[in-house]
Amino acid sequence: MEEKMEAQVENAAGAAAPAPARSLSLEITDKAAAMAKKQLDKRAVPGTMIRLGIRGAGCSGYTYVIEFEDAAPRERDRVFEKDGVRFVVDKKSLLYLAGTILDWEQTLMHQGFKFKNPNEKSTCGCGHSFQI
């Protein structure tokens, strides 16, 4: 079984910050960090981070966002670091992602990042959107 560790938290300036209350935590598995690092290495743009979040979209109301972030973190962003990879989450998204585990899933039918979010009330049939 893969060990899951809570990511170290930094403030937007990059300095280590005390971990937020458990209710605003986000876990990143070793597999997710390794795959994110692979994607960042392919991109080869120094300082790039991975932005995680949610957007209002899809048939159920919200959809997850994973994108490259080349700009410095915004003042109200929270930065999580796992195995040298920096993940940035905006304050509003973090409220909805509290307690979420970001994992990498690879099956015969699908491979990709998987959000295991305890705040989801339901998901749609296509698997790309959810309700909170």
DSSP-derived 3-state class of residue 5: strand
Of the CA atoms within 13 Å of residue 86, those in its CB half-sphere come to 21
The residues spanned by each domain of the chain are: 4-131
Q: Considering the entire predicted model, what is its pTM?
A: 0.74
Domain 4-131 fold is: Hypothetical Protein Aq_1857; Chain: A; (2.60.300)
Q: What is the pLDDT along the chain (132 residues), one digit of tens a residue?
A: 333 344 444 445 555 554 444 457 899 999 999 999 999 999 999 999 999 998 887 666 778 899 999 988 999 999 999 999 999 999 999 988 999 999 999 888 888 898 888 877 656 555 555 556
Strand spans (E) along 1-117: 4-6, 8-10, 26-29, 49-57, 61-69, 78-82, 85-89, 100-106, 111-116
Q: What is the largest CA-CA distance in the chain?
A: 42
